Structure 1
Amino acid sequence: MSAALPKAPEATMRVSALHGVGDLRLTERPVPVPGRGEVLVRVAAVGVCGSDTHYYTQGRIGPFVVDRPLVLGHEASGRIVGVGEAVDPRRIGSRVSIEPQRPCRSCTECKAGRYNLCPHMEFFATPPIDGAFAEMVVIEDDFAHDVPDSISDAAAALVEPLSVGIWACQKACIGAGSRVLIAGAGPVGIIIAQVAGAFGASEVHISDLSDERLGFARAHGATHTHRADSPVDDLGVDAFIDASGAEPAIRAGISAVRPAGSVVLVGLGADEAVLPVNLLQNRELVLTGVFRYANTWPLAIRLLAEGRIDLDCLVTGRHGLADAESALTSGSTPRSMKSLVMPQL
């Protein structure tokens, strides 16, 4: 984290763009120009998300199809190097974590504070909106959140998945003394476990099929670990949060929740799943999904600054833009947690 002044923007920049399934190309594009209320950010780090990998291997997620070159990456941090009209020029040089979305701010959902559900949302790396596998990006001024120098570029980028964890725990009503079960000990599951602990949970159970990942979970937030192929229906937890997307894990997790408890679905799996409706009804369980987040960045940055969340421990690889393909394919082994693309390498 250098204190040197940022370099002035160039006329062109490098981007890593997806042209089709498995077809990632390093190309040159003009540097974007920040409009009114926007800032130009020189990207320092970008976390690789499962959605990036899915676009790379499948070319689509549900209705979102890669039908033209698409820049992937939505977990990003960097430094402001330019500002548009109506933005304080003193922001130039600020280190920021990027909230990678642009809601319309005028629809019913936005006005109700649920801007993550805005039907007109433009979200990084979701077709046709380009993401942050680029040397520079533009974002609205108030969605470029200042971070202190105590937070690394990597952790500042991973505020995005941390926000997913915060949103999930808020949906699950996690508080002091809560008992929670999390399915999936991947990066999102580990983050949710840490957030649950920061919110005051007294027991944080996590399940997975990988003993290696369960060991990592025990060292980074979980108080109890379980093999996913072992029964958990006797736990009687207050909340179950699925970070796996696996239908068997979801069904098992629901069976572990006490009456009037909460079930929160975070993981991306099949479009449809068979759920134990009788159990949901008889126990009056509250079932909800998670779609991104809203108003989570300030809390996420505070938790990081106070040392209550460790995101740097998740980083298992760093890659330059020219090596972005390796970052996208690195998550195939349990030992890999979170790969970063570092556009300035």
Structure 2
Amino acid sequence: MIAADSTQTNSAAVLRPGGSFYYEDRELPVIQSDRDVIVKIIATGLCGSDVHYWQHGRIGRYVVEKPLILGHESTGVVVSCGSKAEGIAVGDRVALEPGVACNTCQACRRGRYNLCRDMRFAATPPIDGTLCTYYRVPAECCFKLPAHISLSQGALVEPLSVAVHACRLAGDMQTKSVIVFGAGPVGLLCCAVACAFGASTVVAVDIVSSRLTVASKYGATHTYQMQDASPEVNAVDLLRAARVEDGADVILDATGAEPCIVCGLHAVAPGGTFIQVGLGRPSVTLPIGQVCDKEVTVKGSFRYGPGDFQTAIGLLDARRVNLDGLVTNEYTFSQVEEAFQNVANRVGIKSVIYGPGVEAEMANSVAA
């Protein structure tokens, strides 16, 4: 076990209540179950939730009341395994699913473990995250990366799984028209998955033109820049630009912004499906008449569930989803605060922080 080697340290970037970071050495994780796996963290992508905890100290009922390690979109190399960690071996390059459900509650037993009330999710107070040297997870939370995917790119498997989950909630996408609001990492990955799932029209929508210029690389057939107009006017112009004047079969909102949600409900076709993927304000005003008049199916999407990570890996392995260019900013472990600041300022598309002592060459190398 790695803990037996006293020369190793588990360096961590820790968030204080109040919003400042500091570095400290934490205890080395050890195998506690015969299904446990210990992973040396190579790369961690920054998520909006990480930035929100840094800036505001809480998300809903989860409050940063004591020092917390952030980070949950991680890849690494397996350094130790329990005796029953089937399918995983020391040296494997893996993406980590950062939540461990109880597996006994009603939600878990029904195959919806993402709704488990006792979920232990990395970087959700009081559970520490992955901005550290070593991290322990069960073997079922380790997914071997395809040989052509770097460990830096692999940090996108977690948000790709979010996109997979959202698209699966929308049902059959074959030959369907899909509009995705938000051309950030999750929105672009939603475009990519919708295309991989057979959508004939995929429209990326954003207010920032520079983000839309790359959307075609990730499956978008059309783009639309939101204008300074009402959601109703934007919906008409959007549908005309996408050549789906009768409405889109599926709307995926990855923004959580009220104008986008309202626009989407005006743009969805009669009998269509609206999936809420992104989170913004906890309460928004909706045009409920549109929902009723068109018998729209409205669903919330929360993280990912059974099979979503495996599907994400499969899409990458088959090269049906392209990650090239999504990671635009990479930082060393000593640059954590700078990385958070740049994400808050919407610099680039996706930011990744290397693990302690990790060099760019290791993070960006592939197995074949």
TM-based fold match above 0.5: yes
Match of 2:321?
A: 309
Q: Distance in 1 between matches of 2:78 and 2:54?
A: 29
Match of 1:25?
A: 22
Match of 1:298?
A: 310
- Mark the runs of 5 or more structure 2 residues left unpaired by the alignment: 228-232, 240-244, 359-368
1:122-137 → structure 2 map (5 Å cutoff): 122-137=120-135
The AA in structure 1 aligned to 2:15 is: L
The AA in structure 2 aligned to 1:253 is: G
Q: Distance in 1 between matches of 2:32 and 2:10?
A: 18
Contact (CA 8 Å) 1:204, 1:224: kept in 2 or not?
A: yes
Q: Distance in 1 between matches of 2:46 and 2:30?
A: 25
Contact (CA 8 Å) 1:190, 1:220: kept in 2 or not?
A: yes
1:87-102 → structure 2 map (5 Å cutoff): 87=85, 91-102=89-100
Contact (CA 8 Å) 1:43, 1:76: kept in 2 or not?
A: yes
The AA in structure 2 aligned to 1:258 is: A
Q: 1:118 to 1:90 in 2, by over 3 A?
A: closer
Q: Compute the displacement of 1:305 (Å).
A: 1.3
Q: Distance in 2 between matches of 1:90 and 1:212?
A: 41
Contact (CA 8 Å) 2:120, 2:127: kept in 1 or not?
A: yes
Match of 2:149?
A: 151
Q: 1:15 aligns with which of 8, 12, 16?
A: 12
Percent identical: 39
1:1-345 → structure 2 map (5 Å cutoff): 10-36=7-33, 37-87=35-85, 91-229=89-227, 231-233=234-236, 234=239, 235=245, 236-294=247-305, 295-333=307-345, 335-343=347-355, 344-345=357-358
Q: Give SS of 1:231's match.
A: helix
Q: 1:88 to 1:214 in 2, by over 3 A?
A: closer
Contact (CA 8 Å) 1:213, 1:335: kept in 2 or not?
A: no
Q: Distance in 2 between matches of 1:303 and 1:218?
A: 18
Deviates more, 1:118-127 or 1:9-18: 9-18
Contact (CA 8 Å) 1:35, 1:85: kept in 2 or not?
A: no
Q: Distance in 1 between matches of 2:164 and 2:88?
A: 30
Q: Distance in 1 between matches of 2:353 and 2:18?
A: 19
Deviates more, 1:223-232 or 1:195-204: 223-232
Q: Distance in 2 between matches of 1:89 and 1:301?
A: 15
The AA in structure 2 aligned to 1:287 is: V
Contact (CA 8 Å) 2:9, 2:133: kept in 1 or not?
A: no
Offset from partner CA, 1:157-178 (integer Å, 9 cap, x none)? 2110000000111111242101
The AA in structure 2 aligned to 1:32 is: P
The AA in structure 1 aligned to 2:11 is: R
Q: Distance in 2 between matches of 1:206 and 1:174?
A: 19
The AA in structure 2 aligned to 1:42 is: K
Contact (CA 8 Å) 1:40, 1:136: kept in 2 or not?
A: yes
The AA in structure 2 aligned to 1:296 is: D
Contact (CA 8 Å) 1:254, 1:263: kept in 2 or not?
A: yes
Offset from partner CA, 1:174-226 (integer Å, 9 cap, x none)? 42101011111111110100110000111001111111111121333211111
Q: Compute the displacement of 1:22 (Å).
A: 2.6
Q: 1:313 to 1:27 in 2, by over 3 A?
A: same
Aligned residues: 340
Offset from partner CA, 1:243-300 (integer Å, 9 cap, x none)? 1111011000110011110001111100101001111011000001111111211111
Q: 1:62 to 1:90 in 2, by over 3 A?
A: closer
The AA in structure 2 aligned to 1:256 is: A
Q: How high is the TM-score relative to the length of structure 1? A: 0.94
Contact (CA 8 Å) 1:72, 1:131: kept in 2 or not?
A: yes
Q: Give SS of 1:148's match.
A: coil
Deviates more, 1:312-321 or 1:80-89: 80-89
The AA in structure 2 aligned to 1:160 is: E
The AA in structure 2 aligned to 1:280 is: V
Q: Distance in 2 between matches of 1:332 and 1:83?
A: 37
Contact (CA 8 Å) 2:51, 2:344: kept in 1 or not?
A: no
Q: 1:246 to 1:179 in 2, by over 3 A?
A: same
Q: Compute the displacement of 1:304 (Å).
A: 0.7
Q: Distance in 1 between matches of 2:206 and 2:192?
A: 16
The AA in structure 1 aligned to 2:342 is: S
